[in-house]
Amino acid sequence: MPPIFQILGLVVCFGAPAAIAFVVSGWLWSWRRPLASLAVAASAPVACYIILFLFASRSAAIVRIETPQDADVVKGGWLSVEGDVKPADASVTILVHPTEANGWWVQAPVQKGIGGAWRAGVSLGTSTDGRHKHFQLVAVAASSPWLAALRGQLLREGVRVVRPPALPQSEIVSIWRVE
């Protein structure tokens, strides 16, 4: 997500409640207490922060990668990764890190199954790139997609990120690609 959209999201999320609180409190006090209206307006973004980021984060997702296992040896440039997530409706994204390169590559969206099970196909390079190399896999999950969007942590397939986002994540699985 471009930084301008993240900034606009924060302005809408926190600026709008502050402006509304200022106007409503000014109107209620017939504009005789402008400092009180400013105090109310200043507290509105704090209240929004507490509601959105603290209370909404309590139902954090729990995500696991079941296959492959840590230290597995895999063949080929495509790998099927399977796992589960709780709550079952949480969104899951897989990130792949070639240990000889910088960053993590966002993979295609996972296919959801029953009861929180999911499966994803991930790329481990090309037919020549990535052979005889180590890779790391991690699954990240967001129990509420709107909260991930507000935090600017929407992940798009094919994008390289410096590190996995600050979302609930699985244990990192290290694998070795032989062919």
Of the spans 114-118, 129-133, 145-149, which averages the highest pLDDT? 114-118
For the chain, the structural domain boundaries read 3-58, 62-177
User: Would you state the pLDDT for residue 159?
Assistant: 86
User: Would you state the pLDDT for residue 83?
Assistant: 97
Residue 6 banded pLDDT, cuts 50, 70, 90:
low
| % of residues, the chain, pLDDT over 70 | 82
Residue 7 identity (one-letter amino acid): I
Q: What share of the chain is helix, strand, coil (3-state, %, to 5)?
A: 35, 30, 35
pLDDT(153) > 90: no
Q: Can you give the pTM of this predicted structure?
A: 0.68
The mean per-residue pLDDT over the stretch 82-102 comes to 92
What are the start-end ranges of the E strands in 37-113? 62-67, 72-74, 78-86, 91-98, 104-106, 111-112
User: Would you state the pLDDT for residue 120?
Assistant: 96
User: Would you state the pLDDT for residue 3?
Assistant: 60
* Better-scored residue on pLDDT, 150 or 78: 78
User: Would you state the pLDDT for residue 143?
Assistant: 79
pLDDT(95) > 70: yes
The mean per-residue pLDDT over the stretch 51-60 comes to 62
Q: CA-CA distance, 90 to 125, in Å (whole number)? A: 28
Residue 145 banded pLDDT, cuts 50, 70, 90:
low
**Residue 66, Cβ density class (10 Å: 0-12 exposed, 13-18 middle, ≥19 buried):** middle
| % of residues, the chain, pLDDT over 90 | 39
Residue with tokens 């890190």: 97
pLDDT(1) > 60: no
As a CATH number, domain 62-177 is 2.60.40.10
Query: By the 8 A CB rule, do 143 and 61 touch?
Result: yes
User: Would you state the pLDDT for residue 176?
Assistant: 95
List the Cα angle 9/10/14 in 5-degree steps: 120
pLDDT(57) > 60: no
